[in-house]
Structures are given as structure tokens and as C-alpha cells.
A = this chain, B = another copy of it.
Amino acid sequence: MTEGAPVTTRGRGARGGRGGPRGPYAKSAERRSAIVEAAFEVFTAHGYQGGSLQRVADVVGMSQTSLLHYFPSKSDLLLEVLRRRDQMSSGEFVRGAGVQLAGDVERQARYNEGVPGLIGLYTVLSGEAVTEGNPGRAYVTERLAVLRRDYAADFRALAEVGRLREGVDPDRAAAGLVGLWDGVQLQWLLAPDEVDVPRLLRDYLDLVILPAATGDGAEPAPPSA
């Protein structure tokens, strides 16, 4: 639901971790996890369209035939990589009520600076998603729609407490926030010293959100500005 905020290292799998199943199933889950991990690396470096199953198989040290036993097609593997990305992105940050939007966004954006590989992967895959027949298309389309809907709800909550600037439309402001985030992340990946993503998002939110009345505690200052 967020733009990305991985919890720990990329080594932690969706299945087969501590507390998971034991025995043959655990072993199989471990392999599955290793394949997704390898695919994550390959797609990050080459994109989905440029990354081959053979390369993924090479990274994980198995034959392509064995790999296809776990994931019948490349697009199955892509969708698992995207789900993994979502798992990594959730959990670290608890979204507050809608009125805490600016602080939530800035914290997530600062965190994202530490995981350029993950942001890069998402940037490549979401760009590729606009091509005809791309298997990630439905996923990315849905994800962007969910983000728009959630941020629109946040802006509406702000409007209810009188903190949305007059004339700002919550739905369009939400699409704008999502688009700004994606677009400036692209610039940051290519010119990290010139583009400060959290600051640019804060600039935008400062334009559309009015300051909280002093002392109401609805919008605490971010930990580091």
C-alpha cells in the first residue's frame, strides 16, 4: 500500500522462515523463496522483459526445467516478486489516521532512500506494465488505483477537519501525490544528489494541506525535517 518500505533484508522469504512448516514442504518453500529472491535480483538489474528465466535459474543454481517446476511461467514468477515487494513494503510503518498523511509520507520516503534497489525494481516494472500484454499490467493498474483511493480518503479526512486548502480536490490531489512520488523517484534514481524525494513530497503536501492548529497534536513534526 505504500511506495516501499522493506522490513528487513531481502533474505527473508514469504514461506519457510522460522515458525513455518517443517519437512519436505519446508524444503520446497525454501527453494521457492530462493527463486523469488533470485528473480528479484535479475529483474532489478535487467527488468522483467530483459531478465530471462535462464538467468534466474543460474543465480539460484538450478536448471531452468527445475525452476519451471516451482513457477510454471515467467509471469507467475513476476507476480510473486511483486507480492514479495508488497510484503517487504508493509509492516514497518503503521499508517496513522488520514490527518497524519504528511508525516507518514515523509517517513516512508526517507526510509525508501535506503533501498534504491527496491525502488528501482518498482520503477522498471511499472514502466514496463504499460506495454501490451505485460503480465504485471493488471497488478500495477490495481496498485495505483488502490493508492489513489487510500490517499483520497486521507485528503477527505483532512478536509473534514478544515485542513485541505480551498479548491483542492481530494481525488485529484491523491492522483497527483502518487504521480509525483513515482516521477521524482525516477529522477532520484538517476540523479540522487540533485533530487530530494522526501523534501519534494513535503513541498507538495505543504501546498495542499493547511497547518494544524497549534496544540491539537494531529500533525506532529516529522522526526527529522
Residues of B contacting A126 in the complex (Cβ-Cβ under 8 angstroms): 127, 186
Residues of B contacting A178 in the complex (Cβ-Cβ under 8 angstroms): 183, 187
CB distance from A4 to the nearest CB of B (A): 14
Contact partner, A204, options B130, B176, B191, Cβ 8 Å: B176
Copies of this chain held together in the complex: 2
B131 touches A124 (CB 8 A): yes
Residues of B contacting A63 in the complex (Cβ-Cβ under 8 angstroms): none
- Bound-state Cα–Cα, A104 to B123, Å: 28
Would you list which residues of chain A between 179 and 193 have a CB under 8 Å from chain B? Answer: 179-187, 189-191
A179 touches B183 (CB 8 A): yes
A140 touches B190 (CB 8 A): yes
B176 touches A144 (CB 8 A): no
A190 touches B141 (CB 8 A): yes
- Bound-state Cα–Cα, A175 to B185, Å: 11
Residues of B contacting A187 in the complex (Cβ-Cβ under 8 angstroms): 144, 148, 175, 178-179
- Bound-state Cα–Cα, A178 to B191, Å: 14
Contact size range, A: 35 or more
- Bound-state Cα–Cα, A125 to B140, Å: 17
A160 in the interface (beta carbon within 8 A): no
A103 in the interface (beta carbon within 8 A): no
B141 touches A130 (CB 8 A): no
- Bound-state Cα–Cα, A145 to B49, Å: 27
Contact partner, A129, options B45, B129, B190, Cβ 8 Å: B190
CB distance from A178 to the nearest CB of B (A): 7
Contact flags A55-86 to B (C-beta < 8 A → 1, else 0): 00000000000000000000000000000000
Could you jot down 17 A-B contacts, CB within 8 Å?
Answer: A45-B132, A47-B128, A47-B131, A125-B127, A126-B186, A137-B190, A168-B203, A172-B199, A175-B195, A176-B200, A176-B204, A178-B187, A179-B182, A179-B184, A179-B187, A207-B207, A207-B208
A169 in the interface (beta carbon within 8 A): yes
Given pairs A46-B131, A49-B51, A182-B186, 7 additional interface contacts (CB within 8 A): A47-B128, A124-B128, A129-B190, A175-B200, A176-B204, A180-B180, A180-B183
A176 touches B203 (CB 8 A): yes
